[in-house]
Amino acid sequence: ADKVMERVSELVSGRGVALKGGVEPAYLGRAVSISDDLVALKEHATAAYGALDNGGWHLRHPIGKLIKFQQVLFSSGGGGATSEAASSSDDLESGGGTPSSSSGAAAGWLVEGAAVEVEMDEEGLRGSRYGATFLGFADEARRVARLQYTHLTAEEGGEERLVEEAPCARLRPSPPAILGWSSRLRPGVQCELWHEDGWWEVVVYEKRRPPKPRGGPAQFEVYSETYGEVEATVGAGRLRPRLVLVHGREWLPPPP
């Protein structure tokens, strides 16, 4: 196990991993990050260095450790706007665990005008995320944010956007778009559905392809494990990956 963690340290530091018969260390100069697509990296290591990998102990097993660590972070939910900006490399080189979090002031990305997502806590909305603009802090301790929602209105059927306050711990930046992600959609995949002007956590139940010869894009049956009434058959355009923000600064890729 110690040898495997040494290889992990070499990968995340960018020093590369020396292989018997290799011209130079594998992945020299590339600091592997916990936010990388590690499944793709493991596949590349197998294809490019399989014959030199000493049964997998130099590359495949260390990358597998990183994948397990990534899955722990994903299942723990990462961190929000108040998470410590601790070094992922330090966590990994020390053997890793779940990231520590702090109840301190908001992260540096939270500036006036920033596009954010708010994790809702109200009954019937809990766990969903709605887009908003950060207007400023509502308290001197910088723990409470003043927000204007992008789609929610102050009155049903009205045009005035809802303005309210929310704890900074429930905020995160708007996640990045993931190109080509829809190819991973299959039964059992966790994702988010655009529903009632927000993003709701769902699971893919079934993938449907239009009958030939008409063809066309696939449709996906999705459902919420929390809210039984949240169920739909939609195209990939109304779905996005369930991404996790780690330490308030790095996005984990969609899980394998």
- The string of pLDDT tens digits covering residues 43-81 is 888 888 888 877 788 899 999 888 888 777 766 665 455
Q: Which residues lie across from 193 on neighbouring strands?
A: 200, 239
Q: Which residues lie across from 199 on neighbouring strands?
A: 129, 194
Q: What average pLDDT is seen over the chain?
A: 82
Assign residue 89 a region (left: φ > 0; alpha: ψ between -120 and 50; beta: otherwise).
Answer: alpha
Give the E-state strand segments of the chain in sequence order.
115-119, 129-137, 144-153, 161-167, 171-173, 190-195, 198-208, 219-223, 231-234, 239-241, 244-246, 250-252
pLDDT at 118 over 60: yes
Average pLDDT estimate for 220-228: 92
- Give CA angle at 63 (59, 66), nearest 5°: 155
Closest CA to 253 of 203, 169, 179: 179
Tokens of 145: 């944010």
Q: What is the pLDDT of residue 212?
A: 76
Please check whether residue 110 is in contact with residue 171, taking contact to mean a CB–CB distance below 8 angstroms: yes
Average pLDDT estimate for 76-104: 41
pLDDT at 167 over 90: yes
Neighbours of 201 (CB within 10 A): 18
Average pLDDT estimate for 137-142: 93
Give every CB contact of residue 37 below 8 A, 6+ residues apart in sequence. Answer: 253
pLDDT at 28 over 80: yes
- The number of angstroms, rounded, from the C-alpha of 113 to the middle of its chain's C-alpha atoms is 23
pLDDT at 100 over 60: no
Return the higher-pLDDT residue of 97 and 196: 196
Share of the chain above pLDDT 90, in %: 41
Closest CA to 61 of 38, 85, 37: 38
Confidence of residue 168 (pLDDT cuts 50, 70, 90): very high
pLDDT at 166 over 90: yes
